[in-house]
Amino acid sequence: MGEIAEVLIIGAGASGAVAAKHLAEAGVGVVCLEQGREVSSDEFYGDKPEWELMSQRLWHPNPNVRGLATDYPIDTSESDVNPLMFAGVGGSTLIYAAHWQRFMPSDFRVRSLDGVADDWPFTYQDLEPFYDHMDVEMGVSGLAGDPAYPPMTPPPLPPLPIGRIGRLAAKGMNELGWHWWPAPQAIPSRAYRGRSQCARRGTCMQGCPEQAKASTDLTHWPDAIAHGAQLITGARVREITVNAQGLASGAIWIDRDGVEHHQRAEKVIVCANGVGTPRLLLLSGGDRFAGGLANSSGLVGRNLMMHPYAATVGYFDEPLDSWLGPAGQAIHSMQFYETDKSRGFVRGAKWNAMPTGGPLGMRSAYGGAPLEEAWGENLHRATQKRFGHSFEWGIIAEDLPDPENRVVLDDSLTDTDGIPSPKIIYRNSDNTEKLIAFHLDRQREAMEAAGAKSISTTTLMRDCGWHLMGTCRMGNDPETSVLDQWGTSHDVPNLHVLDGSTFVTSSGFNPTATICAIALRSVMHMIETRADQRVAS
């Protein structure tokens, strides 16, 4: 690797893929280092009888459960929530549910409106054209006109059917006069740009065997590579290097034979997610940047937000085919999204009505309960009650930034290359707990209105940290933020971050649409201003 890349991207997931495609199409020389590998759709088990069995290990979203060499272990001993992710070409989009949600206009003005957290350095209107663009690139299916949002450009594909569970959930919401809408999803309701129509297998979160769901290995990497981007897999970065001028000059990475390389670059973009990115910055900088690269604010790794997830399951007499996909959401609701201070907390949550999967469920989780409770005749009773006869209302609870919730380097844990692992220190706030309690009460009412014969709730799912945000926040003030509004480090002008680390607040929405829109906005700005930028030589 003697050549100097114009742009080095670290991480080939959602934001890295968006950056690589657009930079390469603009004629910029791109090298991307990805610690994982390419995954073929025939490796997924969604079209095989073993789907549920393998979802509990090989395709589990928690890297500590998978235990693959391509993952790095994470110390979660001081966290209420486990962070979830996947390392590979396409990153966590390989196993996300593809809820394709925009943030609300109010999400960008939380300090102004509710007196908490901070405002973003740009508005919904600034981001809107990039949301529109990403809808087309991903092939979003949805129904225009959702009154929970300002008027917007319709998505390119018609909505997926809401199915029996969506209709039942909707009837309950109508009984109560509450908002619902067919959910937007990055899953094609028609064949789209080389991808298949969704087959509704309902296995989105363990990889789509149909090559339908919009994961960036399918939506972006082929174009990026066709335009000259070089993608190197099995490349684990241990440090971003810095030159005598204090500019990022590349990265040291280790191949799968243990050989170390130095990829030099004029510019470095980190897209390693809200845990991996601060980990790498904290590992970098040397003596010149004590405390980590780009960390003069001391905020690298801080303000971690992970969206605590709670849920209500309703059980019904009628057959609902509730193993049918898409797995993510049939309908959503923003009835209780915005702040109402009379509830005793600020901010809110999106709800998503979801199927409940196959017959196996989580049998391994029953150890220690009275035997007759989980097994024997009750096994059949519980399975018949849930399987095909239930759906879930989930809560994406807005998580406010708290500097004490953070990613740090672990003292002893390492990955297979001996690089220190991240440790997560994260506690739910009082606001979050009140928010979840309120929403669970409302969901119980929604389930009763839908005619549920019985209801169960989960107050906090530990394996729910899909959304990794806030650990390199954007802002206008270098003392209170790590990055400017374009994802550029305040400290190192040719170092950029484009993943969920950039978020100022978390919203109550699944973040991938916003991660991609922000990445696109930042990259387009980078392309427009490339002649004016300082780069390492």
Partner 1 sequence: MNALSDTRRAALNAIGDVLIPAALGMPRFTDAGDVDAMVDHVLALRPELTGSLNQALDRVGAGEAAAAAAERLNREDPDGLATIGLVASSAYYMMPEVRQIMGYRGQEQRPATVDEEHDYMRDNLLQPVIDRGPIYRDPDSG
Near partner 1 in 271-330, by CB under 8 A: 323-325
**One of 379, 425, 437, 535 touching partner 1 (CB under 8 A):** 379
Token pair recorded at residue 366: 């029953």
Which of 161/234 has CB closer to partner 1?
Answer: 161
User: Residue 150 interacts with partner 1 (CB under 8 A)?
Assistant: yes
Considering only residues 209 to 268 of the shown chain, the ones binding partner 1 according to CB under 8 A are 210
**One of 40, 77, 123, 529 touching partner 1 (CB under 8 A):** 123
Token pair recorded at residue 441: 């009460």
User: Residue 335 interacts with partner 1 (CB under 8 A)?
Assistant: yes
Strands, E assignment, 243-363: 248-254, 260-264, 268-270, 309-315, 331-333, 349-354
Q: Which part of the chain contacts partner 1 (CB under 8 A), choosing from 4-12, 193-201, 405-413, 502-510?
A: 193-201
CB of 20 to partner 1, least distance (A): 31
Pair type for strands 236-242 and 248-254: antiparallel
**One of 11, 90, 91, 182 touching partner 1 (CB under 8 A):** 182
CA-based angle 20:464:58, to the nearest 5? 70
Pair type for strands 331-333 and 349-354: antiparallel
Beta-carbon count within 10 A of 326 CB: 31
- 515: nearest Cα among 531, 533, 527, 497: 497
User: Residue 122 interacts with partner 1 (CB under 8 A)?
Assistant: no
Which of 106/456 has CB closer to partner 1?
Answer: 106
Q: Which part of the chain contacts partner 1 (CB under 8 A), choosing from 164-172, 292-300, 303-311, 480-488?
A: 164-172
Beta-carbon count within 10 A of 223 CB: 17
In angstroms, the CA 90 to CA 218 distance is: 8
Token pair recorded at residue 497: 């971050």
User: Residue 147 interacts with partner 1 (CB under 8 A)?
Assistant: yes
**One of 371, 454, 476, 479 touching partner 1 (CB under 8 A):** 371
Rg of the chain taking only CA atoms, in angstroms? 22
In angstroms, the CA 349 to CA 347 distance is: 7
Cβ neighbors of 9 (< 8 A, separation 6 or more) are 16, 19, 20, 30, 31, 32, 33, 269, 271
State in Å, rounded, how far the first CA of the chain is from the last one: 15
User: Residue 535 interacts with partner 1 (CB under 8 A)?
Assistant: no
Which 8-state DSSP code applies to residue 80? S
User: Residue 366 interacts with partner 1 (CB under 8 A)?
Assistant: yes
Distances (CA, A) of 410 to 77, 78, 403: 11, 11, 18
**One of 194, 344, 381, 476 touching partner 1 (CB under 8 A):** 381
**One of 37, 167, 462, 525 touching partner 1 (CB under 8 A):** 167
CB of 86 to partner 1, least distance (A): 19
User: Residue 502 interacts with partner 1 (CB under 8 A)?
Assistant: no
CB of 364 to partner 1, least distance (A): 4
Which 8-state DSSP code applies to residue 531? G
CB of 106 to partner 1, least distance (A): 4
Beta carbons of 518 and 127 less than 8 angstroms apart: yes
**One of 62, 82, 203, 241 touching partner 1 (CB under 8 A):** 203
Beta carbons of 56 and 364 less than 8 angstroms apart: yes
**What string marks each residue from 456 to 495 as x (binds partner 1 by CB under 8 A) or -?**
----------------------------------------
Considering only residues 57 to 116 of the shown chain, the ones binding partner 1 according to CB under 8 A are 57, 104-106, 108-109, 112-113
**One of 7, 18, 140, 162 touching partner 1 (CB under 8 A):** 162
